[in-house]
Amino acid sequence: MDWSPKKQWTGVSRAVASLNEVTGRNGGIAMSKATPEPASSTPALPARAPIERVTAASDRDGNGFDLWQEVCRPILDVVSCGPPREFATGFEFYDADGLVFNRVNYSATHFKRTTRHLRGGEGDLILVHMLLSGSEQGQVDGRPFRMDPQRIIVQDWAHAYETVTEDSEQISVAIPRERLASSDFLYEKCPVIDLANDSPKGMMLGNALRSACTALPRSTQAEAPAIAAGFLGMLDGLLNPSAGSAVGSVSEPAAGSQACRSRRTPSAPWN
């Protein structure tokens, strides 16, 4: 499986190989990947290739936890809180110009992100996630953490954490940190930003995340850079208005403190 540190969650194409391998070993797991529509017979009209999409699911058939472990292995250790053979999960990924939006459901899980998972430098992601049902609580870098459907979370995955969940469903987006101008601000000030859904910032960010997840199934690759740029620009503005505009293309990393980034090394209370 090609889950090298430099490639972890940088695009849905990395997940495709992993899911194909899991699907080949575990009967009952259904996976589909969207394929581009054929080019128009009229040369003047561009092909409307859909945004890359991956889905997989396993419904308490004895294979769900195997799938969940394989998908989480590069980024988290996971332990089922109930009988592993009764574990159920399902997820859908969309790659929008390097930002990976997803919707996922899973049985109660014990998550643990340790120093083994931390990459340092630019290798760790920024995650924006919101529970639709269930709850999650524990600690991030030794600080109390809780997530429920009444709040939206911005989390810096350069910090270790350990949490326990109920049966849950969430939507989220994984952002390569070089795409976010305020990533250094987030790393230095607070590994987690907790926004109430009914607060002004929480309403804006939650609506943007829900809208993106609703729009992506009908969006094209040509539209992906605008979707990514719009989301990044708003997120940067909400996190740190002085950080400047986020970059709209994966080929143009956001400017930031290279010295700070080069010094960043994984540090965590768990090994």
Among the listed residues 212, 3, 181, 183, the one whose alpha carbon sits nearest the alpha carbon of residue 93 = 212
pLDDT of amino acid 185: 77
Q: In terms of C-beta density within 10 A (0-12 exposed, 13-18 middle, 19 or more buried), how is residue 149 classed?
A: middle
Domain ranges of the chain: 5-34+51-263
Among the listed residues 115, 256, 130, 100, the one whose alpha carbon sits nearest the alpha carbon of residue 188 = 256
| Poorest-pLDDT segment among 19-33, 39-53, 217-231 | 19-33
Read off the pLDDT band of 184 (50, 70, 90): confident
Q: 5-34+51-263 sits in which CATH class?
A: mainly beta
| Poorest-pLDDT segment among 24-28, 156-160, 191-195, 198-202 | 24-28
User: 174 - beta bridge partners?
Assistant: 100, 127
The single-letter DSSP state of residue 46 is P
pLDDT of amino acid 23: 34
- Mean pLDDT on 18-27: 37
Q: Is the pLDDT at 172 greater than 80, yes or no?
A: yes
Q: How does the average pLDDT of the chain come out, rounded?
A: 75
Read off the pLDDT band of 11 (50, 70, 90): very low
**Highest-scoring range by mean pLDDT, 151-165, 175-189, 248-262:** 151-165
Compute the distance between CA of residue 155 and CA of residue 128 in angstroms, rounded to an integer: 6
pLDDT of amino acid 154: 94
Residues 6+ apart with CB under 8 A from 57: 29, 30, 89, 90, 91
| Alpha helical stretches, state H, 152-223 | 183-189, 200-215
Compute the distance between CA of residue 161 and CA of residue 157 in angstroms, rounded to an integer: 8
Taking only the tens place, the pLDDT of each residue in 203-219 is 999 999 999 999 999 99
Taking only the tens place, the pLDDT of each residue in 98-154 is 999 999 999 999 999 988 888 776 678 899 999 999 999 999 988 899 999 999 999
